[in-house]
Amino acid sequence: MQKIKLTIAYDGTDFHGFQAQTRRDATIRTVQSVLEESLERVTGHPVPVTGAGRTDAGVHAKAQVVTFESAGAVPVERWPRVLNHRLPRDVVVISARSVPPSFHPRYDAVAKVYRYTIDTAPVPDIFTRRFCTHFTEALDVERMQQAARYLIGKHDFTSFSAARAQVSNRIRTLRKVDVWTDGTYVHFLYEGNGFLQHMVRILTGTLVEVGITERQPDDIPHILKAKDRREAGRTMPPEGLTLWKVKYS
Amino acid sequence: MQKIKLTIAYDGTDFHGFQAQTRRDATIRTVQSVLEESLERVTGHPVPVTGAGRTDAGVHAKAQVVTFESAGAVPVERWPRVLNHRLPRDVVVISARSVPPSFHPRYDAVAKVYRYTIDTAPVPDIFTRRFCTHFTEALDVERMQQAARYLIGKHDFTSFSAARAQVSNRIRTLRKVDVWTDGTYVHFLYEGNGFLQHMVRILTGTLVEVGITERQPDDIPHILKAKDRREAGRTMPPEGLTLWKVKYS
């Protein structure tokens, strides 16, 4: 057996997230299930897939990483072509390579990068609409950049994670939080060693509340300290969020 | 009554073209029918819509123009907001203005601009895939630009229109045919006083055959002269085509 690492991209709009789910008898369309179906059609047997991150329903990926075990019938470099022929148009395999059997896409990742994009144009652009959140209130980018600086570093991000998330350690390190504009778009880029459930969407929602002057940039340290979800801002909708990159050492 | 001119954009992927259709009892999802449904929900009565051009199934619009008669209950400037609240996410109203009762979006148009885009990257880009045709054979852009020059001007475009098209006069004037690259994208832009059925897709397919050196640039005059659909190249798929602009004097 050979372990194959795929880099894949997907338009999350029509997926119930990355991870395969069973809900009674219904088939839920997830990225993992669609990939596993294509792999089964190629190989003739079930092929479980492991992903680097479980993106939520509606969240996209520019470069998600997944692995699976291959019996070797398909040469490594042929996998993108073989799978892209079978996959629906909203998932694409960008590249494939062979990795050691011990490689794990989630545990071996040293950093993940997420991007959140808001379109502030009066009317959303039809060509980018699936990948942006439309938000027309005036955003003060400099204020958001000031607030973003307080988020960089090692912190307990309890206030910025879904209250129901089942995880004991909520300490994460953010290496980078960038906010910039490009025409009518406002982009937020986060690089960290790990992210809690809804963390990027709550971080962005809190920065947005700073941007519309509902909050002050220096509210951020207090929100972090409170370790209480209710202290942070709104959870932004999923459509503006993209898993941008997964980094390995 | 007041005549309202809307500029609209749509992602044609999930539409059976612009024009409303009745196929037995089935409801066919078209841009016109979706617009008319929204207008009826707003006004409480049927509101027929007239478009500047009948885009085919899968073809997009960045700025299509449509008109309808309004009793005036909604102020002109409110129409974009009122309709965008009700329209599905793949159609958007960009602007609205009042026009004289005699204005006709098709007959009064002095020119239309279409853009066709090919993505030549080895793997299609998930963010632009809905609006591009993926084509990985090497394209010689300079050859296509040479061929394009022969298309400019007033010609009988019979060879470049769907053989079944029911139209007596196939003489059209192309003012501009531009071909250029932008990264892995190859764009084709056509401006003319009118276009026959499938014309842009056949023009592009013929230029592509020049680009892959299946044909010579100076084959174009012979194809025009033949007035025979079989002399021209392939009909490119609809997903790369966008109605870019409709011009009025």
Residue B108 is a catalytic residue: no
**With left for phi above 0 and alpha for psi between -120 and 50, is residue A44 left, alpha or beta?**
left
Residue A190, pLDDT above cutoff 90: yes
| Final residue of a structural domain among A99, A131, A149 | A99
The amino acid that residue B57 corresponds to is A
**Residue A80 sits in the same domain as residue A127:** no
**Residue B93 sits in the same domain as residue B20:** yes
Domain membership flag for residue B104: no
Contact of A10 with A64, CB cutoff 8 Å: yes
Contacts of A65 (CB under 8 A, 6+ apart): A5, A6, A7, A8, A51, A52, A105, A109, A246
**Residue B56 sits in the same domain as residue B162:** no
Helix ranges, chain A (H)? 31-43, 79-86, 141-151, 199-211, 220-226
> What was the pLDDT predicted at B25?
64
Contacts 24+ apart (CB under 8 A), A156-159: A156/A224, A156/A227, A157/A196, A157/A199, A157/A224, A158/A227, A158/A228, A158/A229, A159/A223, A159/A224, A159/A226, A159/A227, A159/A228, A159/A229, A159/A231, A159/A232
Identify all chain B residues contacting A9, using CB atoms and an 8 Å cutoff: 125-126
| Final residue of a structural domain among B39, B73, B99 | B99
Identify all chain B residues contacting A136, using CB atoms and an 8 Å cutoff: none
Domain that holds residue A65: 2-99
**Residue B119 sits in the same domain as residue B94:** no
- Distance between CA atoms of residues B52 and B65, nearest Å: 5
- Distance between CA atoms of residues B121 and B132, nearest Å: 11
Secondary structure class of A240 (helix, strand, coil) = helix
Tokens of A4: 């194959």
A114 annotated ligand-binding residue: yes
> What was the pLDDT predicted at A168?
83
Tokens of B31: 């841009």
Nearest CA in chain B to A8: B126
- Distance between CA atoms of residues A229 and A219, nearest Å: 14
Of residues A164 and A206, the one with the higher pLDDT is: A206
Domain membership flag for residue A104: no
**Residue B207 sits in the same domain as residue B120:** yes
Q: What is the pLDDT along chain B (249 residues), one digit of tens a residue?
A: 899 999 999 999 999 999 988 766 677 999 999 999 999 999 999 999 999 999 999 999 999 999 999 988 899 999 999 999 999 999 999 999 999 999 999 999 999 999 999 999 999 999 999 999 999 999 999 999 999 999 999 999 999 999 876 788 999 999 999 999 999 999 999 999 999 999 999 999 999 999 999 999 999 999 999 999 999 999 999 999 999 999 998
Q: Domain of A118: which CATH number?
A: 3.30.70.660
**Residue B233 sits in the same domain as residue B132:** yes
Interface of B with A in 203-242 (CB under 8 A): none
- Distance between CA atoms of residues B129 and A30, nearest Å: 19
Tokens of A129: 């609409």
**Cβ <8 Å between B126 and A93:** no
What is the distance between the terminal CA atoms of chain B, rounded to a whole angstrom?
24
Candidates A59, A94, A126, A134: best to mutate against B (most CBs of B within 10 A) is: A126
- Distance between CA atoms of residues A189 and B134, nearest Å: 29
**Residue A74 sits in the same domain as residue A147:** no
**Residue B122 sits in the same domain as residue B240:** yes
Domain membership flag for residue B73: yes
Determine the number of helices (DSSP H) and then strands (DSSP E) in chain A: 5, 12
Nearest CA in chain A to B93: A123
Nearest CA in chain A to B128: A127
Q: Domain of B39: which CATH number?
A: 3.30.70.580
> What was the pLDDT predicted at A167?
81
**Cβ <8 Å between B92 and A124:** yes
- Distance between CA atoms of residues B18 and B9, nearest Å: 11
Residue B2 φ/ψ, nearest 5 degrees: -130, 135
Identify all chain B residues contacting A124, using CB atoms and an 8 Å cutoff: 92
Distance (Å) from the C-alpha of residue B240 to the closest C-alpha of chain A?
Answer: 12
| Per-residue model confidence as pLDDT tens digits over A96-139 | 999 999 999 999 999 999 999 999 999 999 999 999 999 999 99
3-state secondary structure B19-72: CCCEECCEECCCHHHHHHHHHHHHHCCCCCCEECCCCCCCCEEEEEEEEEEECC
| Final residue of a structural domain among B99, B128, B146 | B99
Contacts of B128 (CB under 8 A, 6+ apart): A127, B117, B119, B185
Domain membership flag for residue A105: no
**By the CB < 8 Å criterion, does A187 face chain B?**
no
Contact of B105 with B51, CB cutoff 8 Å: yes
**Cβ <8 Å between B93 and A123:** yes
Interface of B with A in 1-60 (CB under 8 A): 9-11, 60
Torsion sign over Cα A75, A80, A81, A83 = positive
| Per-residue model confidence as pLDDT tens digits over A152-161 | 999 999 999 9
Identify all chain B residues contacting A80, using CB atoms and an 8 Å cutoff: 123
The ipTM estimated for the assembled molecules is 0.88
Candidates B64, B78, B126, B244: best to mutate against A (most CBs of A within 10 A) is: B126
**Residue B136 sits in the same domain as residue B95:** no
**With left for phi above 0 and alpha for psi between -120 and 50, is residue B183 left, alpha or beta?**
left
| Per-residue model confidence as pLDDT tens digits over A15-39 | 999 998 876 667 799 999 999 999 9
- Distance between CA atoms of residues A112 and A191, nearest Å: 6
Rounded to whole angstroms, what are the CA distances from B208 to A43, B144, B194, B204? 36, 7, 22, 6
As for how many domains chain A has, the answer is 2
Contact of B208 with B120, CB cutoff 8 Å: no
Contact of A32 with A65, CB cutoff 8 Å: no
